Amino acid sequence: MDTLHAHLEALFDDLELVIGWETGYEPLRPTPAFLRSREDLSRLVWNPLCAPNLSVYLPGILKDAKETGKKIGVCLKGCDSRSLGALVQEGFVERERLYVVGLPCPGTVDPEALAEARKSSAPVTHVSFRDGLLAITSRDGTEEIELERVLARRCRRCRHPNPLHADVILGDPVPPRRTEPSFSDVDAVEAMSLEERRAYWEEELSRCLRCYACRNACPLCVCRDRCLAESRTPKWTTQRDGVRDKFLFHMIHALHLAGRCTECGECERVCPVGIPVALFKEKMARIALELWDYQAGTDPAATPPLQTFDPSETGI
């Protein structure tokens, strides 16, 4: 934390602004912060509750930013940095306009798991993190909770806790929880029969509100204001509240992310009704890996597999 502040402090004259996290309406809710003055830097926080993937803001902020010659600073966790890689790859972000502060990530917290793990339900007044332990203070005292117990699903399968493509990495590297791609949650779905899977998704998706938080939190969902799921011409979905239209929306999202998803898990994190929507993209990522040995966002010079072809490939 102190290093982060000091580092940005020293650099701030060369930066237009810094995108990081600050404490939200309660210490459990760090919220994205757009720090435009040196004084603002003091608001920066960095801990396992800093869940949002800030790369989602980059295409928009770069588009709107005036050309001052100053760079835009952004704090990225490991998985966030893969999103940046993919955005650079597809030309949505000019890497040279950014100053990327890579933050090796111990993993982020699943709020629901944390709520369950806490003994107190009183409003939290302070949070700190050290040596794998979250210290959570409320009027009922301070509880220490192991991060590992309350880890978000996305973090349990994380292979990239250490940022790629960063200008600077602040903090010691974190040993990855996984060294090989892990698709155990996909496997769990696939362990069901076809019929069960259909029923499973129908039930999960029936809760979808079509609030589009999953889509808007996705750094690679680049259609922004022009999503096909809301389009009336062409009309792929209706405004009905049925499962089929919800299903189609999620299929649009998943297919658009095929070979592009960087597995940051934001779609799932932000879903208010707890649909494991990231599984769709994990399955896509697995297919891309199997078919083309491709991992999105790791190589900014690569071409996404559906944007290219290989005349000699066989078996498909």
| Residues between 236 and 295 with contacts to other proteins, criterion CB under 8 A | 236, 238-248, 251-252, 254-256, 258-259, 266, 269-270, 272-274, 279-280, 283-284, 287-288, 290-292
Indicate whether 133 belongs to the interface with other proteins (CB under 8 A).
Answer: no
CA neighbor of 189 nearest in space, from 206, 210, 208, 204: 204
**The dihedral formed by the CA atoms of 79, 251, 216 and 185, expressed in degrees to the nearest 10:** -30
CB of 50 to other proteins, least distance (A): 11
Q: Which is nearer to other proteins, 162 or 246 (CB)?
A: 246
Indicate whether 69 belongs to the interface with other proteins (CB under 8 A).
Answer: no
Indicate whether 225 belongs to the interface with other proteins (CB under 8 A).
Answer: yes
β-bridge mates for residue 144, sequence order: 135
Strands 71-76 and 15-23 turn out to be parallel
- The interface region with other proteins, picked from 97-105, 150-158, 172-180, 185-193 by CB under 8 A, is 185-193
CB of 167 to other proteins, least distance (A): 22
Indicate whether 310 belongs to the interface with other proteins (CB under 8 A).
Answer: yes
- Assess contact for 122 and 62: CB atoms under 8 A: no
Q: Which is nearer to other proteins, 43 or 178 (CB)?
A: 43
**The dihedral formed by the CA atoms of 31, 34, 40 and 44, expressed in degrees to the nearest 10:** 40
The DSSP string of 88-123 is HHTTSS-GGGEEEEE------B-HHHHHHH-S--SP
Q: Which of 206, 298, 299, 302 is the binder for other proteins (CB under 8 A)? A: 206
Indicate whether 124 belongs to the interface with other proteins (CB under 8 A).
Answer: yes
Indicate whether 126 belongs to the interface with other proteins (CB under 8 A).
Answer: no
Size of the residue set binding other proteins (CB under 8 A): 102
Indicate whether 139 belongs to the interface with other proteins (CB under 8 A).
Answer: no
| Main-chain phi, psi angles of 76, to 5 degrees | -130, 135
Indicate whether 183 belongs to the interface with other proteins (CB under 8 A).
Answer: no
Write out the binding residues for other proteins, residues 45-64 only, by CB under 8 A.
Answer: 52, 56-57, 61
* Exposed / middle / buried, residue 300 (Cβ in 10 Å: 0-12, 13-18, 19+): middle
Q: Which is nearer to other proteins, 51 or 103 (CB)?
A: 51
Residue written as tokens 């009336």?
232
Q: Which is nearer to other proteins, 36 or 119 (CB)?
A: 36
Rounded CA gap, 76 and 256, in Å? 23
CB of 40 to other proteins, least distance (A): 10
Indicate whether 213 belongs to the interface with other proteins (CB under 8 A).
Answer: yes
Distance from first CA to last CA of the chain, Å, rounded?
50
Q: Which is nearer to other proteins, 169 or 251 (CB)?
A: 251
Q: List, in sequence order, the alpha helices (H) in 180-316.
A: 184-190, 194-206, 213-217, 243-256, 266-270, 278-292
Residue written as tokens 């199997």?
290
CB of 71 to other proteins, least distance (A): 17
CB of 260 to other proteins, least distance (A): 10
Residue written as tokens 């090796």?
104
- The interface region with other proteins, picked from 1-9, 99-107, 162-170, 213-221 by CB under 8 A, is 213-221
CB of 108 to other proteins, least distance (A): 13
Write out the binding residues for other proteins, residues 78-97 only, by CB under 8 A.
Answer: 90-92
